[in-house]
Amino acid sequence: MRHGQTDWNAAKRLQGSTDIPLNDIGRTQAGNAVPALSQFDWDFVVSSPLVRAAETADVIAGDLNLAVTCRIPGLVERDYGPAEGLIEGAELDSMRIPGGYYGAESESEVAERGLDALHVLSRENPGARIIVVTHGTLIRVTLTEALDLDVGSIDNATLNLVRHHRNTGFALHILNGTTHHTQGSHSDNSKGHKSWQL
């Protein structure tokens, strides 16, 4: 799940790794996410250490009577370098280069660390059903890599449900709160990782 809204989201400022807290709308979104999550059984919650994800995770965990067991550095949002804080439009366009933004972390680097963080989480908690609260770009590029499918943008505080099976790879069941049934091809066996589930 992506965190709730921040003032920078509302202003269309590129946040990246800049640590911006939730606004009132974002806190409400986090609470409003609970009914969709409560349709499933969960064991615990983890999040990115950035405050907007941590706050969202804390609201969800409190409402579902779950523990937030850790903040995982590998789940932080993409580092956009000097483009962070710029507003969508001409200001941000001036920082664009092929493949992203000047001085930014590449999407492939973000996807790799996102998948690595989830594989470690799974290895340390085999079979666990985990709510992972993180960031839009990290979710998008990680799922795109895992599913070999362009999943598009990720909405604030909406459920994305992915399951992984060792032999068949990743399967997308819910994206941005909408049911999907898409089987990916990114198997753990190809990288020697154990399976993980969301």
Amino acid at 56: T
CA-CA distance, 51 to 47, in Å (whole number)? 10
Question: Residue 18 pLDDT more than 90?
Answer: yes
Task: For 103-155, give the DSSP string.
Answer: TPPPHHHHHHHHHHHHHHHHHHSTT--EEEEB-HHHHHHHHHHHHTS------
- Return the pLDDT at 182: 57
Domain, as residue range, for 112: 7-190
Mean pLDDT of the chain: 89
pLDDT in tens, 83-106: 999 999 988 999 999 888 999 999
Handedness of CA 176, 178, 184, 189 (dihedral sign): positive
Domain of 161: which CATH number? 3.40.50.1240
In 3-state terms, the chain is what percent helix, strand and coil (to 5)?
A: 35, 20, 40
Question: Residue 186 pLDDT more than 60?
Answer: no
**2 within domain boundaries:** no
**1 within domain boundaries:** no
- Return the pLDDT at 111: 97
Positions marked catalytic:
3, 77
pLDDT in tens, 153-164: 999 999 999 887
Total domains in the fold of the chain: 1
Question: Residue 191 pLDDT more than 60?
Answer: no
pLDDT in tens, 19-39: 999 999 999 999 999 999 999
**196 within domain boundaries:** no
pLDDT in tens, 42-88: 999 999 999 999 999 999 999 999 999 999 999 999 999 999 999 99
**60 within domain boundaries:** yes
- Return the pLDDT at 192: 33
**197 within domain boundaries:** no
